[in-house]
Amino acid sequence: MNQASDAPFRPYAPGSQPPLDAADYGSTQKRHPISALVRLPGGHTATELTAPRFSPARYPAFADLTAPGGGKALGERIIVAGRVLDEDGRAVPGVMIELWQANAAGRYDHTRDQHDAPCDPHFHGAGRVFSDEDGRYRFITIKPGAYPWRNHHNAWRPNHIHYSLFGSGFAQRLVTQMYFPGDPLLAFDPIFNATPDTAARARLVAGFDLDVTQPEWALGYRFDVVLRGRGATPFEEGRP
């Protein structure tokens, strides 16, 4: 298997990614290109195969979102932990993960959020962590609330935490959302449901995990993230 650092990244698996033109998500209507995306004639180059290396020394980690400035955020404290892996199941170390979310009442600490729900002076809702040598990461936050949006009549976003990840090549760049198990709003959410493949959608939902849960303190959720792999797929491997 060609997994050298200059090996090209694999194409996305069919159905694993949402389309740019997602009919049920109104904001995509005027924002998706009409022309087909263009492939690089010779494949990936240094621009796609390499990526910025963010060091925690320069971009400090901020792994406890519940206590900015010493106050205590309102809401249900939770622990989220998981691993960053590639498509071959190998750990991806040194990944910078940026996080942001609404507060427990379903309101973002953002001037454009006018939802009639209280702000929390002790919760900003942004964090940054790095994956370790085994690809593991962990942060502490407040379970975000659901909130209404204007996509369609009576539209509500399910509880979610936004993730932004940088891998070892810019072709691995990923922005996604983590959802919570058992959320009844998932069935009605056009953003969650835009991804065609059922299994790919299911992997956007974190699992409740008693091993991540800290006794007498906070519930724990597990959420693993998979970045694109390099080189031939295992399926192609071994073929003449």
Partner 1 sequence: MPAATASQTIGPYWHLLEDPSWADLTRLGAVGERIALIGNITDGDGVPVSDACVELWQASPPASADWDGFGRAATDVEGNFRFVTLKPGPVPGPPGANALQAPHGAITLFARGLMIHLQTRVYFEGEALNKQDPLLASLEPARQATLVARPEGERDGLPSWRLDIRLQGVGETVFLDI
157 is catalytic: yes
Q: Cβ 131 to partner 1, closest distance in Å? A: 14
Of 50 and 213, which CB lies nearer to partner 1 in the complex structure? 50
Q: Cβ 214 to partner 1, closest distance in Å? A: 26
Of 3 and 45, which CB lies nearer to partner 1 in the complex structure? 45
What residues have CB less than 8 Å from 110, skipping those under 6 apart? none
Q: Cβ 215 to partner 1, closest distance in Å? A: 30
Of 138 and 173, which CB lies nearer to partner 1 in the complex structure? 173
By residue count, the chain amounts to: 240
Of 55 and 214, which CB lies nearer to partner 1 in the complex structure? 55
Active-site pick, 25, 108, 163, 221: 108
Active-site pick, 138, 162, 173, 203: 162
Cα–Cα distance for residue pair 227/117, rounded to 1 Å: 35
Cα–Cα distance for residue pair 148/117, rounded to 1 Å: 10
Active-site pick, 157, 201, 228, 230: 157
Active-site pick, 77, 124, 160, 228: 160
Active-site pick, 137, 147, 179, 221: 147
Q: Cβ 143 to partner 1, closest distance in Å? A: 17
Q: How far is CA 106 from CA 101, 103, 147, in A?
A: 9, 5, 5
Buried b (16+ CB within 10 A) or exposed e, 29-61: eeeeeeeeeeeeeeebeeebbebeeeeeeeeee
Q: Cβ 211 to partner 1, closest distance in Å? A: 21
Cβ burial of 231 (10 Å; 0-12, 13-18, 19+) is middle
Of 93 and 213, which CB lies nearer to partner 1 in the complex structure? 93
160 is catalytic: yes
Distance of CA 1 to the CA centre of its chain: 28
163 is catalytic: no
Q: Is 238 left (phi over 0), alpha (psi -120 to 50) or beta?
A: left
Task: Show the tokens assigned to 109.
Answer: 């600490």
Task: Show the tokens assigned to 187.
Answer: 């069935």
Question: Mind telling me the catalytic residues?
Answer: 108, 147, 157, 160, 162
